[in-house]
Chain A
Amino acid sequence: MEVSTVSEFISDKCFHFTHFLVEDELQASQLVFDVLQSFLIESPSALSRVESTGFRNDFYSRIYKLAKTRRDHFKMSESVDLSGRAAFFLVYEHRLSIGEVAKITTTPEDQVLLKVVHARSQILKDNNNVEKFRTSL
């Protein structure tokens, strides 16, 4: 296993995904470390496949599940649909297929696209410039 490949994947892609989900830098770092530790205990040999899609999706899935378990601890608003944010990020940033996202977020396939669209419009709604731009045209 290339330690540098593992650390690149975790400090770049995994942190980005986790930070987007939990919106707090420190909590995101801790969550990523905890997922790595659990991976080392449960399936350390899998780390050698760090560049494979299967491994990466498994990692994202663990991150999502742990974030979901800890959402009360993060004081996340109840209105935030975590699976929607995860689905939006994975489709938008990593261009994962609906099937892959459904597996990672344990969401039925027919609901993934709806969640992506909803999360997308929620981000746009939270940004004041979008409405201003719309009306300026």
Chain B
Amino acid sequence: MINECVHERSVSRLVSRNSELSDSLKAHISQCENCTRKYNILCHENSVLKENVSSYKSNFEIKETLSREVELIVERYAEKSKRDARVLKNNSFGSLNHNVLAFVKRLTQPISLILMLFVGALYFLTL
């Protein structure tokens, strides 16, 4: 039965987090049988984890296909948004403020003033 070393916990904590080991701990590991064993196991575990996680990365082919598809989706969406905005603008009755102002503006045009005078004159003639 191998006795545990007090430094094993530090080795375990630092190596499993991929943290930098201090020079004194490195020196201890090289001299302590327990810590050397622990260190080697943890490094091996880290390489297994790294390989496992990396195996799920997109390879060149997948990345190309995904990028193309994403660009298409985003561009299609941008076009649709533009089209919707145009339709909304054409079909919109506008705001009340905007409509009142446009109406008043049209009333002050010469043709409107002549028409108003004409209607007014007709009204007085019928009295």
Contacts and interface: CB of A to CB of B under 8 A. Distances in A.
Contacts of B31: none
For the residues of B in contact with A, the DSSP-based class is helix
A10 B53 contact: no
A85 to B, nearest CB: 10
Contacts of B66: 7, 10-11, 15, 29, 32
Interface stretch (A62-70, A98-106, A120-128): A120-128
A11 B59 CA distance: 10
A80 interface: no
Interface of B: 16, 37, 40-41, 44-45, 48-49, 52-53, 56-58, 62-63, 65-67, 69-71, 73-75, 77, 81
Interface residues of A, number: 35
A40 interface: yes
Interface of A: 1, 3-4, 6-8, 10-12, 15-16, 19-20, 23, 25, 29, 32-33, 36-37, 40, 44, 47, 89, 92-93, 120, 123-124, 127, 129-130, 133-134, 137
Contacts of A123: 48-49, 52
10 contacts: A7-B74, A32-B66, A33-B70, A33-B73, A36-B70, A44-B81, A92-B53, A129-B44, A129-B48, A137-B40
